[in-house]
Structure 1
């Protein structure tokens, strides 16, 4: 297989990308799980290129005209479920997003995205093969309503923030107390590819999960999925602090994800590759780390103003900002 042979013959690299993406849209669309459906079952917050739509083509890098991400050659899309606060009176309010303190000031909500080789700080010496045009995947599942393993899904976690720099401990469920600095959700994707399929019916089987906890080094890729790809991860910071004074008297967690999950086992995330040309491969072949990869070394960057200016118009006419009687798409059902 051509891609596989190239990945085995090429040399090693030490690349790691960390960058911010502003919010490009918050709406009920899901082109992977519910392609073409308007609206989809629950609300997502989306970052990346403006090609995001109910149905997406195989090469969105050719369709998008702008991106909300730091690197202007990165027209990929990344999305997660939205967090809501449930008031003791039964109404719901969408929780605002915050930017990560490690990123430039002024980013409009969004997420912090990582493409790493081995772990958060040291990296390794393996060859990393970039994703290909048309590649897509998901991690986690909203269908998980109970703990699916000893500690839930490895790499899918919540962090109760003391401040924006807090990273531990990582929890498999929502925090059970008000968090002084908000709540962070973390989504780590599998990094081993079968070398053949750009997608699979469940959007996961073409990948193999070697993720452990946090940014710990991943295990070796198995023979069934031999191609090591970038370790993709999302960090999303939610400003839950404005709701701390409204924490229920019984102490029960008041936060829910947009599909009605009040535990957190069903947290999930989606990715559609959309880097221009060989930009991501050049980055993975570079020794750069984090901000040292910017300003043409080797990736082109753009201003925060340009990131924030890129938007996708909502195709669903519904209130997402006021106090709501029920979660959008969830009807009048009391969850």
Structure 2
């Protein structure tokens, strides 16, 4: 799908400077992936999804106005009816069975059921000025970061900033690793997904859901690196933080000799298959207004809802499989490799 860059030329490089940080409850956990496997039920592996309740097995590009299709969102800002999803982490027991690892709310968001914390920013997370210029995503925009098939460090070098944090407590934010932590994490494991920040200005999607976006040609988003000529439009940085509550699975014996007991629902035991999907669904131009708002975390121009209201927004189970018992196989029978 292509976007007419000339139709918005006057606003394409409008000043925008803000950082949004907000929580989203879990919308559903199902084996569905309308971006990579549209219409397939079930899809290849299990995902945890947040956002608007128009999420379905099939979300074709021609029905891209998620804000109009959804009646609620599991996110704090009611204008955000986008969908975001990642794979799911399982613990693999000594007898070879699997148990889904629950998600844990971050400090200040207690009571949130599952879900993630979402950031949209124009500059580095620690930069309270947020002075840079970005362009908000357009209706129909979709993208994917990471690759579910990757299993080694060299493959993962293609992606920047897909990381893990072995949390000592709720405030731990360093160090970050590329693969799964190899020691027990007293505060859980945080998985970080940072999306590319440069857009070609034309295509709302691409066949692999990646070629229409790019990383800065030099430096990083945090250092203000310039976008390549092929992808000249600077987008907000989207960061997803998911805290996996591994505290019940911290037996030191599971971490002997450099091993660790966790696997993604893809069957990946290395951590290098970490990936995330995004479908834009903000109402009207609410995201652009927020990014133009010169705000840091707070967003008075947006409407918020309570955590209890977020928790109520769900979609029905469309797959109908057991994902919560001790399982003899990962959902989809994905082999551990």
The verdict on a shared fold, with TM-score over 0.5 as the criterion, is: yes
Q: How does 1:81-230 map to 2 (within 5 A)?
A: 81-101=87-107, 103-122=108-127, 123-148=129-154, 153-210=159-216, 216-230=222-236
Q: Which residue pairs with 2:289 in the alignment?
A: 282
Q: Tell me the alpha carbon deviations over residues 54-95 of structure 1, each in whole angstroms, 9 at most, x when there is no partner.
A: 111311111000000000010000000000000011000000
Q: Tell me the alpha carbon deviations over residues 115-173 of structure 1, each in whole angstroms, 9 at most, x when there is no partner.
A: 00011021543321110111000000012111136856321001100011111111000
| In 2, Cα distance between equivalents of 1:127 and 1:61 | 25
TM-score, with length taken from structure 2: 0.92
Contact in 2 for aligned 1:136/1:273 (Cα 8 Å):
yes
Contact in 1 for aligned 2:121/2:237 (Cα 8 Å):
yes
Contact in 2 for aligned 1:163/1:181 (Cα 8 Å):
yes
Q: How many pairs does the alignment contain?
A: 328
Q: Which residue pairs with 2:274 in the alignment?
A: 267
Q: Tell me the alpha carbon deviations over residues 82-114 of structure 1, each in whole angstroms, 9 at most, x when there is no partner.
A: 00000011000000000111x432111200000
Q: Which residue pairs with 1:45 in the alignment?
A: 48
Runs of at least 5 residues in structure 2 that lack an aligned partner in the other structure: none
Is the partner of 1:281 in helix, strand or coil?
helix
| In 2, Cα distance between equivalents of 1:169 and 1:212 | 23
Contact in 2 for aligned 1:50/1:66 (Cα 8 Å):
yes
Contact in 2 for aligned 1:7/1:227 (Cα 8 Å):
no
Is the partner of 1:98 in helix, strand or coil?
coil
| In 1, Cα distance between equivalents of 2:119 and 2:145 | 15
Q: CA RMSD for the aligned pairs? A: 2.0
| In 1, Cα distance between equivalents of 2:312 and 2:219 | 35
Q: How does 1:9-28 map to 2 (within 5 A)?
A: 10=14, 12-28=15-31
Contact in 2 for aligned 1:152/1:172 (Cα 8 Å):
no
Q: Tell me the alpha carbon deviations over residues 259-314 of structure 1, each in whole angstroms, 9 at most, x when there is no partner.
A: 10000111000000000011000001001111x21xxx111111111100000111
| In 1, Cα distance between equivalents of 2:163 and 2:151 | 15
The one of 300, 305, 309 equivalent to 2:308 is 305
Contact in 2 for aligned 1:155/1:211 (Cα 8 Å):
no
Q: Which residue pairs with 1:2 in the alignment?
A: 6
Q: How does 1:67-86 map to 2 (within 5 A)?
A: 67-86=73-92
